[in-house]
Amino acid sequence: MKITREFIEKIPKTDLHLHLDGSIRLSTLIQLAQENDIPLPAHTEKDLKAKVFKNKYQNLEEYLQGFSYIGAVLQSESSLERVSYELAMDNIAEGVRYIEVRFAPQLHQHKHLGIINVLKAVNRGLYKAAEEFNANASVQTGQDVNFAYGIIVCAMRMFDYGFSEYFDALLDVHKHSERKWIFSLASQELVKASVEARDRFSIPIVGFDLAGQEKGYPAVDHKPAYALAHKNFLKKTVHAGEAFGPESIFQAITELNADRIGHGVHLFNTQMIYNEEIEDKQAYVENLAQYIGDRRITMEVCLTSNMQTIPEFKELKDHSFGKMREYGLSVTICTDNRLVSSTTITNEIMKAVETFDITAKELKNLIAYGFKRSFYPGTYLEKRNYVRKVLDVFEAVEKQFK
């Protein structure tokens, strides 16, 4: 069977690496900026795409530039609820039936907005979208699978003055302390608040993540936070191997007990191994890949995003996704940032299919990995039943197209 765009749009899909702020509608960003007197470098969608949200960026730093404008408009419950609702509806429209929305709540925390209310606002938006869609007859009759979601909270590897009011206050209070200790403290506080939001207010916080500048800010500095997350049964993912090499991925898995890896694009890059004690670098990446495969640690691959931020990738076929498949790794295709990368899950899967010659059977496995390796906010049996329904719908669509 030939895999077409129409087929991809029809099948149920996941997005497990999906940043809330990086996926705001551009029209919403402009409107919220106008309502809150927040200056933007341009005032039309076309001009903002030309100046800020480009198709190609020079590096990761330029890629992240637009987040300062987005963060500025997401400082109220109403704005957070709105963008969460719109993000869910945008995914639903293209057949995505399960998403894990990740964001850094402490970037939106200030004296007028506590972290619990930040999390409640995001959950309200997502819940509203799910409730609306799941009332459809197609879902009720089993012709379609219901829309579900989880929330992943992101700690920051590092932060400085100007990141948020919360971080400014923390830096002031501990101004005589070592910076990495302050970063670790913020991460631990985030875990505690997230567990409270989950257990006391039934917000489906399913995972803990570490994002931000990778090089120079090792994940191991946040080991106490990950130990706390582990103790409280929060699943764990880590941005690793995006701007640093295999050693960063190894650290995320062995020191932080990561269940999944965000990006992991430099998994096989021996040129980015800097530890002089590692003499046989090729053997190191081989062993690391085998370990990841054996443990079924899933790689959250974001093709377009990586192509935009990693200059050495000249063509999509250069992406390590192909090698991940050769090693039989558990991989799921994600968007990263729908706005900043100007993409959708349908686009990402289509690119993977066309570039890496994915067969219909391989596509089904790829889709299944997304649901099976998700941090689904229910019991194990509920998750199994959900995945079975997904595969039933997938197979029904497959029959239509055959």
Q: Residue with structure tokens 């932060």?
A: 159
pLDDT per residue, tens digit, the chain (402 aa), is 789 999 999 999 999 999 999 999 999 999 999 999 999 999 899 999 888 888 777 767 777 778 989 999 999 999 999 999 999 999 999 999 999 999 999 999 999 999 999 999 999 999 999 999 999 999 999 999 999 999 999 999 999 999 999 999 999 999 999 999 999 999 999 999 999 999 999 999 999 999 998 888 999 999 999 999 999 999 999 999 998 899 999 999 999 999 999 999 999 999 999 988 999 999 999 999 999 999 999 999 999 999 988 888 889 999 999 999 999 999 999 999 999 999 999 999 999 999 999 999 999 999 999 999 999 999 999 999 999 999 999 999 999 997
Q: What is the pTM of this model?
A: 0.96
Residue 188 burial (CB count, 10 A): 17
Instruction: Please check whether residue 253 is in contact with residue 241, taking contact to mean a CB–CB distance below 8 angstroms.
Output: no
Ramachandran category for residue 257: left, alpha or beta (phi over 0 → left; psi -120 to 50 → alpha)? left
For residue 400, the number of C-alpha atoms closer than 13 Å in the C-beta half-sphere is 13
Task: Name the token pair of 349.
Answer: 């899967």
Taking alpha carbons only, the member of 137, 43, 126 closest to residue 89 is 126
Please name every residue paired with 235 in a beta bridge, in sequence order, or none if there are none. 207
- Dihedral Cα 123, 126, 130, 131, nearest 10 deg: 60
Q: Which CATH architecture has domain 5-401?
A: Alpha-Beta Barrel (3.20)
Buried b (16+ CB within 10 A) or exposed e, 371-402: bbbbbbbeeeeebeebbebbbebbeebbeeee
Cα–Cα distance for residue pair 302/219, rounded to 1 Å: 20
- In this structure, how many other beta carbons lie within 10 angstroms of the beta carbon of residue 39? 8
CA distance readout (Å), 56 to 10, 50, 63, 311, 353: 29, 10, 8, 9, 21
Q: Which residues are catalytic?
A: 242
At 292, which amino acid appears?
I
Q: Which amino acid is at 250?
A: F
SS3 281: helix
| CA 208 to chain centroid | 11
Q: Where are the domains of the chain?
A: 5-401
Helix (H, G, I), strand (E, B) or coil at 211: strand
